[in-house]
């Protein structure tokens, strides 16, 4: 099977914008964490779909830390880009920036790394194009993604062993 041509990260990057409405907020007027996680997942899926040109599903999300609150009426920008690809999956880095529109102040409020798996017409994992980082920042993100992937695979193997031990007794 021929391997698809490599792509550059800028070809599939995503930038979504949301305005924080009352239904996005909790009792203290800040965005629910689950709402932010949903926006992150949608941005990552859109980015993965653009890169793979196949349907993608979320296989994992690395730890997500909420660094600053996002308040009612603020503007939220969610940026996603492919950091790394393997045979059937890719790591998408997502950054969430909130803006107070009255003061123009911006705040880095959250970041996450998601692994997206491409699916073929049969619903099974399918081969995807590789990535060719261009800028120094993209090359740095690529190198860092390799280390995160090794950690994720080790964790996946450990969880598999635990599940097997639990099933045995």
pLDDT tens for each residue of 63-109: 899 999 999 999 999 999 999 999 999 999 999 999 999 999 999 99
Question: Could you give the domains of the chain?
Answer: 9-168 (3.10.129.10)
Query: Is residue 64 within 8 Å of 111, Cβ to Cβ?
Result: yes
Residue 27: predicted pLDDT: 97
pLDDT greater than 60 at residue 1: no
Length of the chain measured in residues: 169
Condensed to tens digits (0 to 9), the pLDDT of residues 6-36 reads: 999 999 999 999 999 999 999 999 999 999 9
Over the range 115-149, which residues count as b (16 or more CB within 10 Å of their CB) and which as e? Answer: bbbbbeeeeebbbbbbbebeeeebeebbeebeebb
Condensed to tens digits (0 to 9), the pLDDT of residues 34-60 reads: 999 999 999 999 999 999 999 999 999
Over the range 10-38, which residues count as b (16 or more CB within 10 Å of their CB) and which as e? Answer: eebbbebebebeeebbeeeebbeeebbbe
Q: Is 57 helix (H, G, I), strand (E, B) or coil?
A: strand
CB atoms within 10 A of CB 169: 4
Q: Give the residue-averaged pLDDT of 115-120.
A: 98
Query: Is residue 119 within 8 Å of 54, Cβ to Cβ?
Result: yes
Q: Is the pTM of this model over 0.85?
A: yes
Residue 81: predicted pLDDT: 98
Query: What Å distances lie between residue 33 and 15, 67, 91, 105, 117, CA to CA?
Result: 19, 11, 21, 21, 24
Residue 5: predicted pLDDT: 84
């Amino acid at each position: 099977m021929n391997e698809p041509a490599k792509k550059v990260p800028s070809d599939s990057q995503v930038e979504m914008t949301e305005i924080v409405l009352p239904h996005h907020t909790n009792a203290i007027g800040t965005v629910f964490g689950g709402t932010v996680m949903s926006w992150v997942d949608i941005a990552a899926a859109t980015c993965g779909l653009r890169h793979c040109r196949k349907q993608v599903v979320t296989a994992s999300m690395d730890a997500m830390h909420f660094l600053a609150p996002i308040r009612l009426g603020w503007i939220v920008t969610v940026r996603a880009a492919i950091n790394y690809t393997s045979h059937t999956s890719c790591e998408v880095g997502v950054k969430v920036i909130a803006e107070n529109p009255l003061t123009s102040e911006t705040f880095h409020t959250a970041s996450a790394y998601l692994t997206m798996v491409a699916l073929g017409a049969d619903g099974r994992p399918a081969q995807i194009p590789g990535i060719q980082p261009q800028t120094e920042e993209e090359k740095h993100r690529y190198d860092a993604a390799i280390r995160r992937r090794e950690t994720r695979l080790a964790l996946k193997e450990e969880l598999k062993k635990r599940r097997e031990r639990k099933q045995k007794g």
